[in-house]
Structures are given as structure tokens and as C-alpha cells.
Amino acid sequence: MSDAIGIDAGSYKTVLACVKQRGIEIVLSETSSKWTPTNVAYTAQERVIGDAANNQMKKNFKNTMQFFGRFMGLNQDCEAQLAEEKKFTTYKVVGMDNKKVGFEIEIRGEKHIFSPEQIMGYYLRKVKTYFEKAGMNSKEIVISIPNYASNAER
């Protein structure tokens, strides 16, 4: 039986773990921390997550997304919740054609719009490499979300 992988994706930090026969094993981040910041940054050369994105925050704050999970499942009709969430962002939140919300990012002088789901997808794809580096590969995965998440965010 393969080991199960768990991802506790919070608004501020994400904890990665794997269930082993001897218990739960925490997967360390690139900086050997027991948790990974839930941030994604776009630079002129690359996309980075976690601690590397934290390092970009001061000089690249308009292209560094934090708390992006709080926008998942929301659309432009969720005006009150969007207004509250925007208070905590440094990046531009925009409406998309399909009434969903997106984030406007500038990469190499060009503006791009990414949905919160796309950002989370990239974040999870990158987090997968942390498991692989730790020698943990599994088809079984559990992703938890904060208990305060609305039904739309779930």
C-alpha cells in the first residue's frame, strides 16, 4: 500500500505531510521549515512559491500573491466578501469575462490575468516537487482547507 500525502493549505501557510507506517512525517520546505508560506510570486525570469516568494514580496509586491486561496470560488457578485479580501492584497484583483475574479500580473512588461484556481494549481504542482524530493510518491492525496472557507471557496 502506498503512503497517503496530506496538504493543509491555509491562507498564510501550508503544511505538507505523509502518512507512514510509523506515523506522520512532515515534509520540509526548501529552507527546511516545517511549513511553506502560501505565496506565489512572478518575476521576470520565473514563478516561485513559499520562502522564495516571501523574499520577492518587498521589491515585487504587485506580482506576489498571498491569501489567493481566499478568492477561490468567488465571482464578481460576491461584492462584500471581495471588498474585505482586497484589503489584504498588494496585487490587482480584476473581474474576468466569465464573472470570476482574477489577478492582474505583469511579466516582462506584459499584463496577464490568472484566476485564483490557476495560482493554486501552480502552487500545488510546485509543492508536489517537495514530496518527490523527500522520496514520497503517492496517488492518494488529501487537501484540507480552513474551516472558515465558504462553500464557494471549497
DSSP 8-state symbol, 100: B
Q: CA-to-CA distance for 29 and 33, rounded, in angstroms?
A: 5
Kindly report, residue by residue over 99-110, the tens digit of the pLDDT: 999 999 998 889
Put the strands of the sheet holding 39-42 in their side by side order.
47-49, 39-42, 64-66
Segment (H or E) for 72: none
Q: Which of 135, 123, 115 shows the shortest CA–CA distance to 13?
A: 123
d(CA 113, CA 54): 21
How confident is the model over 68-96, as pLDDT tens digits? 988 988 889 989 989 999 999 999 999 99
Residue 90, CA distances (Å) to 24, 39, 106, 111, 139 in order = 36, 12, 13, 16, 36
Report all structural domains of the chain as residue ranges with CATH numbers, in order of start: 5-144 (3.30.420.40)
Using a 10 angstrom Cβ sphere, with 0-12 exposed, 13-18 middle and 19 or more buried, the burial of residue 79 is exposed
Q: What is the pTM of this model?
A: 0.86
